[in-house]
Structure 1
Amino acid sequence: MTIYLGILLALICAFTTNLAFLYKHRGAVAAPAVHVSHPLRSAVGLFSSPWFAFGMGVAVLAWIFHVAALAVAPMSVVQTVLAGGVVMLAVMAERIFGFKVGPRQWIGLGCTALGLVLLGITLPVVHDPNSQFSLPGMIAFEAGLVAVGGLLVMGKRIGAPDHHHGVMLAAAAGLLFGVSDVALKALTGLVADDGVLALLTTPWSLVAILASIAAFYASAKALQEGEAVPVIAFTGTAANVAGIAGGIIVFGDPLPGDVLGIVAQSCAFLLVIVAAALTPAPVRAAQPAAA
């Protein structure tokens, strides 16, 4: 029964997360540019924008729903439900925030949602939250995500095209959010076993905090440098893929045991790759309708 509660919480999280990102984008583009060399000044500049501050408030609410979902459902299931949020993103961007989402972006977002949902439903069903993990596997997985995220952040400095920097930062932010999510999932199991004091005695609390801070700055800079829909979609997709992979690699969520399931998952990854090629096309904000 708890798995259905986790799915409901994840659906609410998907809606509030995308709503928060859209508000943060509106605020970030009006705020001073984010500079890694001046983190406090950048944070003050971002929060001085009312829209960004409001978006962060909505994001905190979404985070609470996310943690609650992770506590009662397997990580791969939660992330699969969140994957459907990219379709919500397109609808909200057009209907509420006045962005023009073209056919190419709709196809890309649809491929993303279909691929990630297909990936999730082909995983064998598990009936417990499954927060137990192997320490070496956890360290290796988290370190790998941080390394890839760092390369994406430095993309422009190592020769990547400037016009791709926004989506590269978005992907880096998503991976760092994935690092935080995996650590949070581990913490839910530790708290269940040892109580709240486990939060003070495990290094995974620090990992979750530091990864969230790094993701915050990478995401804010991405929102300033890239178009709203592609940036938000890339952030969410990277976080979802990291979360699903973490559920399998770190927490032992089972893989499909038949050929059909393996083929379906291969198709799912192919759909996500196709979506990555389609989604970054230009998306321009329409003039908001008069109130």
Structure 2
Amino acid sequence: MTIQLGILLALVCAFVSNLGFFFKHRGACECAKVDIRHPFKTARNLYSSKWFALGMAIATSAWIFHVAALAMAPISVVQVVLAGGVVMIGVMAQRLFGVEVGNRQWWGLALTCLGLVLLAVTFPTHHDGAHSSFSMPAMIAFEAALFGVGGLLIMGPRVGAPAEHHGVMLGAAAGVLFGVSDVAIKALTGIAGHEGVIGLAASPWLYVTIAASIAAFFSSARGLQDGDAVPVIAITGTAANVTTVAAGIIVFGDPLPGSTLGIVLQGVAFLLVIVASALTPAPRAAGAAVSAAA
């Protein structure tokens, strides 16, 4: 029953999180460009927009649902359920916010959904408990690697990536860094259960969570300014979900499929998500959207 409640909370989190992203996108496009060299001024500018402030308030409520879900179910199960939120992005964009979604973006969303569904159906169903215990060396290596990947994505054009894709790359960086935070939070739920509040405050993973969340905040805000809403939101959620699903297996020991077919299907699922990530961005549309907002 606990795992089922965690799944329900994850579904609520998926809807609320996407809603917050769309409000943040509207607000961020009204503000001056995010400049990490002036973090306090940038944060003040962003929060001066009522739409961005509303989006952050909604995102905070989504985060609470997320933490509760992680405390009740294995991280891989929670993230696969959250990944279903990708299905909602296109519909919410058109119906609630009047954002036009092109054919290429619909194909990208559809392939992402297919890949995530494959991940969902190939995960073993015999989970027992929340799977909060973890391997410390695996945790350190995994989190350090994700920080490195996020840093490279943030640098973008400085390391030779196309400038027109920088908004989507920042969205991916934000997703990876949100993944760092989610993995650390999952570890903290186990530590809190065994050692209480004192163990929580003394844990280095609390500070990893804070650092990753701050970096993800600025990356996400700048990505929403530089890119179109649908691809940036989709790639942020997908990057967070894929990295945390991988962490469930590598760090927390969530079980792999019991058959060769299941493992192959999971490989195909990850490949579909990668192809979808290449299809979803629409540089010209993104440029038009940013120009219109300006």
Query: What TM-score, normalized to structure 1?
Result: 0.96
Question: Runs ≥4 in structure 1, deviation > 3 angstroms?
Answer: 283-286
Give the count of matched residue pairs: 286
Instruction: Give, in angstroms, the shift of residue 50 of structure 1.
Output: 0.3
Letter of the 1:76 partner, please give it.
S
User: Structure 1 stretches of 5 or more lacking a match?
Assistant: 287-291
Instruction: Give, in angstroms, the shift of residue 94 of structure 1.
Output: 0.4
In structure 1, the residue matched to 2:202 is 201
Instruction: Give, in angstroms, the shift of residue 120 of structure 1.
Output: 2.7
User: Are residues 1:87 and 2:87 paired?
Assistant: yes
Greater mean alpha carbon deviation, residues 122-131 or residues 143-152: 122-131
Measure, in 2, the Cα distance between the counterparts of 1:178 and 1:122: 21
In structure 1, the residue matched to 2:54 is 54
Instruction: Give, in angstroms, the shift of residue 102 of structure 1.
Output: 1.7
CA displacement 1:125-169 (0-9 Å, x = unmatched):
212100000111000000000001101111111121110100111
In structure 2, the residue matched to 1:289 is none
Percent of aligned positions that are identical: 66
CA displacement 1:254-290 (0-9 Å, x = unmatched):
111211101211220121122112100236889xxxx
Measure, in 1, the Cα distance between the counterparts of 2:23 and 2:287: 16
- 3-state DSSP class of the match of 2:256? coil
In structure 1, the residue matched to 2:4 is 4
CA separation of 1:56 and 1:174: change in aligned 2, threshold 3 A: same
In structure 2, the residue matched to 1:140 is 141
Measure, in 2, the Cα distance between the counterparts of 1:270 and 1:159: 24
User: Are residues 1:235 and 2:236 paired?
Assistant: yes
Measure, in 2, the Cα distance between the counterparts of 1:80 and 1:151: 26
In structure 1, the residue matched to 2:184 is 183
Root mean square deviation of aligned Cα: 1.2
Letter of the 1:53 partner, please give it.
A
Measure, in 2, the Cα distance between the counterparts of 1:161 and 1:89: 25
User: Are residues 1:251 and 2:252 paired?
Assistant: yes
Query: What TM-score, normalized to structure 2?
Result: 0.95
Measure, in 2, the Cα distance between the counterparts of 1:121 and 1:45: 44
- 3-state DSSP class of the match of 1:243? helix
In structure 1, the residue matched to 2:217 is 216
- 3-state DSSP class of the match of 1:255? coil
Greater mean alpha carbon deviation, residues 95-104 or residues 215-224: 95-104
Q: Is the 8 A contact 2:227 2:286 kept in 1?
A: no
Measure, in 1, the Cα distance between the counterparts of 2:287 and 2:176: 26
In structure 2, the residue matched to 1:106 is 106
Letter of the 1:203 partner, please give it.
P
In structure 1, the residue matched to 2:162 is 161
Instruction: Give, in angstroms, the shift of residue 117 of structure 1.
Output: 2.4
Instruction: Give, in angstroms, the shift of residue 116 of structure 1.
Output: 1.6
In structure 1, the residue matched to 2:292 is none
Letter of the 1:194 partner, please give it.
E
Q: Is the 8 A contact 1:9 1:65 kept in 2?
A: yes
Instruction: Give, in angstroms, the shift of residue 193 of structure 1.
Output: 0.7
In structure 1, the residue matched to 2:64 is 64
- 3-state DSSP class of the match of 2:55? helix
Measure, in 2, the Cα distance between the counterparts of 1:17 and 1:90: 14
- 3-state DSSP class of the match of 1:197? helix
Q: Is the 8 A contact 1:29 1:223 kept in 2?
A: yes
Q: Is the 8 A contact 2:226 2:286 kept in 1?
A: no
Letter of the 1:241 partner, please give it.
V
- 3-state DSSP class of the match of 2:197? coil
Instruction: Give, in angstroms, the shift of residue 60 of structure 1.
Output: 0.3
Measure, in 2, the Cα distance between the counterparts of 1:194 and 1:177: 25
Q: Is the 8 A contact 1:100 1:284 kept in 2?
A: no
Instruction: Give, in angstroms, the shift of residue 183 of structure 1.
Output: 0.2
In structure 1, the residue matched to 2:118 is 118
Measure, in 2, the Cα distance between the counterparts of 1:142 and 1:81: 22
- 3-state DSSP class of the match of 2:248? helix
Measure, in 2, the Cα distance between the counterparts of 1:12 and 1:90: 17
In structure 1, the residue matched to 2:277 is 276
Letter of the 1:29 partner, please give it.
C
Measure, in 2, the Cα distance between the counterparts of 1:101 and 1:284: 14
Q: Is the 8 A contact 1:99 1:284 kept in 2?
A: no
Measure, in 2, the Cα distance between the counterparts of 1:41 and 1:283: 26
- 3-state DSSP class of the match of 1:154? helix
User: Are residues 1:174 and 2:175 paired?
Assistant: yes
